[in-house]
Structure formats: C-alpha cells, structure tokens
Amino acid sequence: KRPLYFQSLSVQPQKSLICTRFVVQNPRRSTTTMTSLQQSSLDVTQYGFELLSNSSVSPSTIYSSSLQINYILKHSKSGAQIILYHSLGPLCNLCIIVGTSAHNNGGHAHCLEHLVFLGSKKYPKRGFLDTIATACSSEGTNAWTAQDHTAFTFKCAGSNGLLTTLPLFLDHIIDPLLLESDFGAEVYCMTDERGPTGVVYSEMKAREYSEMDVGDREWRNALYCKGNDGYPELQFDTGGRTQEIARLTHDEVREFHRKHYDPSNIWILIGGQNLPCEELLEILGESLDSYTKDVSTLSRTQESSNPSLNSKGFQAIECDVNEEKMEVDTESILRRDAQFLSSDDEYGGLVIAWRAGIELENVEESVDALVLMQWLIDTPASPLNQIFVETSVPSATHIGIDVRLFHNVALILSCSGVPKKHGLLQTGVLSTKILNALKYLCDDEYSVPCNDDEIEEFKHVRRLNVEQLQNTTRRCYLAALESLESDPHDYLIDTIVPDLVYSSGIVNELWNTKKGRIRAVNPPTRRLEAQIERFCVILKECEDALTDSELESKFILNWKRKLNRFFVHNQHRVEILLHPDPNLAQLHDPPTTVETINNTVTITENSTVT
C-alpha cells in the first residue's frame, strides 16, 4: 500500500516512440565488466564512498534469492546514503527518498515534488527527464509526498536505462530550475477567465474535503498535538490546503528546497539483477561530487535568523515523556466532529485513532498490532464485521484499519457508510459500541452499562482464540510473501522507508529535538528481516499452544493483554465523527483578496506569464 499522499498526475509521462538508439550512451559501458552485487570484494572507497554495511540481509532465508540487500554506503563528501540490493527479474529500480516535514499547510513538499520534473539548471528543457526515462524501456518517472518524506521512483528493463537516467534524475532533484513561471503554472495562479488554477492547487481542491482526507487530517491533528507528548509537524497536510497554497510564494518553495534537499538528507535505493556495480558507483560518485560545494555546504552553513527556530527552520517544542502505564480517563479521550463533502447527508463516517505506545524500532509489537487489527476486520467472519457490518441493520458498510509507522506508531480504525437515521452520527454512540465490542472480545468489563440488545449483538461472535489468531497470522504472512515475490522493489520501499527517514537527516533531528535526547532507531534493514520472522514466530507459538492446554491459556492471555493495552485501556485515543455536508464546497472557496493576488503569478488571456 502506498502512502496516502500523492502519486502525482503531473509526473506520469505519455509513452514515447523515441528510438533508444538516439539516447547518448557512455562509451565506458561497453568495456566495463558487469560486477554482480553479490560480490563482497568491491572497493567502494575509490569511488568516494564509505562502506556502512555489506552483510547480506534478506526478508527470509527461504526467499533470499528474491530480494537481498548487499551494500549500505555513504558518500564521503555529500553525506548521501545509498542502498544497493539484488532482486530477481528484468526490472531495475531507482528510488530517491528525501526527508521532508511540514511546518504549515502550504504544501511546500508537494509543490517541490511537481516542480523538480520541470527541468534542472544543467538540463533546463521541460520534459527532458521523462523523455529520456521513457526511451529507456520504462513507463517514466513517478513520485509521491508522504507525511515525513518525498519519494521519486523510476523502473526500467535492464541496467543501461538506469545508468542513463540516474545522473539526470539526481540533477533534477538536487539542482532544479524552480522558475517563477513554472511555479505559476504548476502550483497556483490567478487567471482572467477561470479564476484560481494550477496543477497542485487543482489536485488538492479535488480531494481536500473528501471523507478520507478529512478523516486523516483530523485524527493526525488531534492525536499528535494532544497532551504533553505532541508532534505538531504531523498535524499539517504535506499536500497543502487550497487557502494556504493560494498564499504560498515562489521564494518560500525555493527556501524549502534549500533546507531539505541537501544530499545529506537523501537516501538512494538502487536494485536489480546483476547490476554493473563498479560503473554504477562511478556514475553516482561523480554526480554527488558535483553537488557538494554548491548545495550541501550552502544549506549547512546558513543559519536561521530566528533564535526560537532550530537550524532547519522549525520551532523546537519542549515536552516531557511519561512512559508509565496510565488508567483510562474518559475525560481525556478527545472527540471531534468534522464535515466532509458529499452528494447527500445520509451516510457519514467514524475514525478512531490510538497512539499505541509502540516505538518505531519495536518491529515485533508493530507486527502484533497489525495481526490483531487484521483479526478484527480481515474477513466477513471477523468479529467487528460480524457485529457492525454483516447484520440486518448494519452500523457501517465498511471497516478498515491502518498502521502508521511514525516514530510513535499510530493504529487507525475507520468506519464508512455509517447511517445517520439510526442516530449513529451522534457523538460517542458508535465509538462506545466499538469499544464495548473490543472489551467483550477480550473478556474485559464494560466501562458503561450495556442493555440486553447490545450484549445480544456480541454473543454470537467468538472471542479471541488460537485458531483464529493462527489463520489471521498465516494470511498476513502469505500476503507479505506474495508482495515480496510479485514486486520486490515496492516491497523493499514500503518496508524500510520509515526506518530510513527516522534514522538520520532532518526528520530525525526534529523528533530528537522534541524529546531532548537521541532516540534509538533501527538499522535501516532490520524491519525487512524482523517483520517476516515475527510472523513465523507467532505461527510457531500457535502450533505449540494447540498441543498444550497450559501453553494455550498463557498464549491467549498474553494476546488479550495486548488487545487491552493497544486499544481498550489506551487513553491516547481520539474519535473523529465525520458528517456529510453537500454545501461544503461553497463555504470554503479560496480567498481572492488583493493580498493573495499580489503573492501569486497572474496568467492573462494570452497565457503569458507576468
């Protein structure tokens, strides 16, 4: 599953009929020996890199041939980190990760995701990158912006296309043109006939008040700014809000690029089968060397003039950490109402989010939480589906789950298609039923008295047992292996990016500043092994429990305690009730004041940029 933000439409090129023989080829490629990534004798220092790790890491010993990380490198001059991995199949993959964190709703990171594709100082022609990329037996380039990073990807058949595109792609990302005229067309501008327009602005206008986006925005805002352990960066929309995008300036985007797109804040993932490793490192080293003086030195020596801001331009917030277990306090549970755009007002939604008390480095507990949530909703026979969906009078048409791997993991339960006519869109009605159902499933006492009808709704559902947990874990395990086999490149990116982003760079510095201490972070590749290994451990424990009644009792008791700790007795919970509103679009039109217009580029009837 890809991150919520934004698989950009603007970077999906049309398929080109350009013949590959016109692509400029490096003459040394015909003479360089193809060195397999599986060799461990490669001297990386001669190309300007430091070897951080060369131990083979794979998701599973059984499937080690499908995906295997061979080298983790660091460029000595720029600080960029590189992961080289081996994967079976004809496709080669390039993924460039930039750690980005929002400090308002202007959508700076999202705007840059679009603008870097419009040309670099070395290759200023718009569309040049996608033309070359498409000519290299690929579908072109792509990108997305998440809450804590921006990713740029490229896949092609064979290593020649990757070696051709790599230096061009890096140049567009690290040293883009960022012209003011491109900002007006791609981000936001005011036209004489059509009013406010722009690719980024139009994209966000189309989705800003959708049920999914409103729910996601509200739970982040409530959950990570609540109490004494808040992380305000997570409350903002990295994609941008239309009213804030309308006020965004070209200079602000350029400054965001200067602070965040430093090579030391970039990770480069390159993989394929039998890549020419020596050639690859030579090209990569030469490219990164050229940016060290102009980009890296400038951004690291420039300090903020505001003493309340740290070196990255963000305000440090002092907060204490209270890691002791606390009793449930119903008054501390935050409940909010929000409106989303809908064609009618009959069906709404509910989002319940927990800060689970699981740190990012605790892979095992993250997997345990995922297994429990899948057990709750995975099939029509799952408990919550049986209670709330598969009934004669359903309380929702769909229940979904999500595990967000921020530095402090968030667990999300969302209900859509909640009918208004049964009073379920009143504050606390449906959420109380869900919490009571969870308590019933783990044999806990009810927090509020339940009438006979509510208890009757739960009685036909089986409580947590070994067989159900075994079946759910096996489905999760097989889904992970299927994803690994069908697309190892995407599996790798989805698995290790959270640990990459929080291991070093700007995002890591922000989180450590708030804690006042350096927090332990996984090695970037640990999750790749530990995730599948944890599935195997749970399956083995289930097998043992089925053969020993004493082990079975202890096993189930342990998992019920996890269910209690993650959900039932977890006071770090927010409930977002989503109400449909057909008139919402008219209430939130962007401002067209003189101040806003003066901060934007105006396009006239002749489509000339002024």
| Residue 547: per-residue pLDDT | 94
Strand order in the sheet with 189-191: 195-197, 189-191, 601-603
Q: What share of the chain is helix, strand, coil (3-state, %, to 5)?
A: 45, 20, 40
Backbone angles phi, psi at 541, to 5 degrees: -65, -35
Residues for the chain: how many in total? 610
User: Residue ranges of the chain with pLDDT lower than 70?
Assistant: 1-41, 55-65, 226-230, 293-332, 444-456, 505-522, 585-610
CATH number for region 1-15+40-211+239-317: 3.30.830.10
Smallest CA-to-CA distance from 576 within 391, 406, 357, 340 is with: 340
Provide the pairing of β-strand 347-359 with 49-53: unpaired
Q: Which CATH number fits domain 330-463+569-584: 2.40.50, 3.30.70, 3.30.830, 1.10.3860?
A: 3.30.830
Query: Which residue type, as a one-letter code, is found at position 3?
Result: P
Q: How many Cβ atoms sit within 10 Å of the Cβ of residue 90?
A: 10
| Residue 298: per-residue pLDDT | 37
| Residue 597: per-residue pLDDT | 41
| Residue 559: per-residue pLDDT | 96
SS3 219: helix
* Domain ranges in the chain with CATH number 3.30.830.10: 1-15+40-211+239-317
**Considering just the CA atoms, what is the radius of gyration of the chain in Å?**
26
SS3 578: strand
- 557-574 pLDDT, tens digit per residue, is 999 999 999 999 998 999
| Residue 229: per-residue pLDDT | 55
The alpha carbon dihedral of 181, 186, 191, 195 has a sign of: negative
SS3 256: helix
For residue 387, give the H/E element and its range: helix 383-388
Write 21-25 long-range contacts (CB < 8 A, 24+): 22/135, 23/132, 23/135, 23/136, 23/164, 24/164, 25/160, 25/164
The position carrying tokens 């439409």 is 9
Tokens of 334: 């935050």
Residue ranges of the alpha helices (H) in 442-577? 452-459, 466-486, 488-501, 506-515, 526-547, 549-563
**Which residues, 6 or more positions from 317, have their beta carbon under 8 angstroms from its beta carbon?**
230, 232, 514
- Contact between residue 504 and residue 81 where contact means Cβ atoms under 8 Å apart: yes
Query: Which residue type, as a one-letter code, is found at position 213?
Result: D
| Residue 199: per-residue pLDDT | 95
d(C-alpha 12, C-alpha 450), whole Å: 53
